[in-house]
Amino acid sequence: MGNIFTRVFGTQQERNIKKLIPLVNKINGLEKKTSKLSDKVLQRKMDEFRGRVKPVGVEVGQLEKEMLELPEIEKERAKIDLQEKARQLDELLYDILPEAFAIVREAAKRAIGLRHYDEQLIGGIVLHQGKIAEMANGEGKTLAATLSACLNALSGKGVHVVTVNDYLARRDKDWMGPVYEFMGFSVGVIQNQMNSTERRQSYGCDITYGTNNEFGFDYLRDNMALSVKEQVQRGFNYTIVDEVDSILIDEARTPLIISGRAEKSTGLYSKIDRIVPRLKRGIEEDRVKRGIEEDGDDDCDYKINEKDHTVALTERGIAKAEKLLGMKDIYEPDSDGTVPATHINQAIRAHEFYESDRDYLVKKG
């Protein structure tokens, strides 16, 4: 019975592809008209799309930030507003998809001499839908990714393209870069040897190539940063994963761990953990709107920013921590490179923002 059904109606994959054919035909129908446009007109059209999409993307980002600051009782309502605005963004992107894909196809022809075929158009649509697109070798996966990357970069919130190694990340960025730049998108790449400034610049681009390990370790390091200024990544929006089976299944079994010589610092960690409860907290926030004067540094030992999950020691707090720990300067590295101030800040963050069994688990400890 199953075989008869398959022969008559096709496999699930065939049925899914069949649903996309009208959209592919619509894109193909625009090719002749698009090919007659000048470079400036093509670029102007992409700018027009950006002008329509980016304001909605900004609103989505603003709602996401505002929701983090709300008390739990108000978050449910804010979540509904956010979902509605995100739905509007999705609908807008889907409405402009045919013409946007046609423009990207023409840009690729002019910039690197490659044309997206129907298989690549289907792949680009599937990727935009957030699904896995299985493409055989030689079907142009790298080129197909430019379609959904450009479409989702219009929001100004950034797109990540994840590859399996540094070489492919650099190669694909250099290969497809002219296509993105033709349409006014900035493109960057994350490489293992880059410093924080270079990484921050690459993450600030519209489209950023890199490996899963580099993206993952930068995320971990950002969560250990003492301030937002030290972080390199921005908010997450849309990601394309190459070799998805390898990255999300095989390599997912290997945890990303930032390690160091912790055995020498264990005693220091214990001391810091004991003194943190003796430090007085303050809240760093915009009190002008509420008609409340900002607390001075003399009133507390550290200030927390609940929005960004960051903490900062005050002058009073620095002096108090040095006295409690019996140190002259908590910002002076010890013999193994440990900076006590860094661990004090991390300990305060742990006490303020993280709860055992909710945010983390302790095993055999």
Residue 296 has a pLDDT of: 53
Cα separation of 117 and 28, whole Å?
9
Looking at beta carbons, which pairs linking 290-298 to residues 24 or more positions away fall under 8 Å? none
Q: Which of 111, 97, 124 is nearest to 27 (CA)?
A: 97
Q: What range does the domain containing 136 cover?
A: 1-155
Task: Supply the pTM of this predicted model.
Answer: 0.73
Based on the domain organization, do 17 and 125 belong to the same domain? yes
Q: Which of 226, 259, 292 is the last residue of a domain?
A: 259
Based on the domain organization, do 10 and 130 belong to the same domain? yes
Query: To the nearest 10°, the Cα dihedral for 297, 300, 302, 304?
Result: -100
Query: To the nearest 10°, the Cα dihedral for 304, 306, 309, 312?
Result: -10
Based on the domain organization, do 266 and 334 belong to the same domain? yes
* Total number of domains constituting the chain: 3
Q: Are 103 and 124 in contact (CB under 8 A)?
A: no
Residue 291 has a pLDDT of: 43
Residue 6 has a pLDDT of: 43
Based on the domain organization, do 21 and 124 belong to the same domain? yes
Residue 151 has a pLDDT of: 98
Query: To the nearest 10°, the Cα dihedral for 284, 285, 290, 294?
Result: 40
Based on the domain organization, do 175 and 268 belong to the same domain? no
CATH of the domain at 166: 3.40.50.300
Q: Is residue 364 part of a domain?
A: no
Based on the domain organization, do 217 and 143 belong to the same domain? no
Q: Is residue 282 part of a domain?
A: yes
Sequence-ordered alpha helix ranges (H) in the chain = 2-9, 12-29, 31-35, 39-69, 72-112, 118-128, 141-153, 166-182, 196-203, 212-224, 244-245, 266-275, 315-325, 340-353
Residues of the chain with pLDDT > 90, as a percent, come to: 56
pLDDT tens-place string over residues 269-280: 888 989 999 998
Q: Is residue 138 part of a domain?
A: yes
> pLDDT below 50 — which residues of the chain?
1-2, 4-9, 262, 286-295
Phi-psi region of 46 (alpha: psi -120 to 50; beta: other; left: phi over 0): alpha
Q: Which of 118, 133, 155 is the last residue of a domain?
A: 155
DSSP state of 295: P
Q: Are 166 and 191 in contact (CB under 8 A)?
A: yes
Q: Which of 155, 178, 198 is the last residue of a domain?
A: 155
Residue 9 has a pLDDT of: 42
Based on the domain organization, do 317 and 170 belong to the same domain? no
By DSSP bridging, strand 159-163 and strand 187-189 are: unpaired
Residue 15 has a pLDDT of: 85
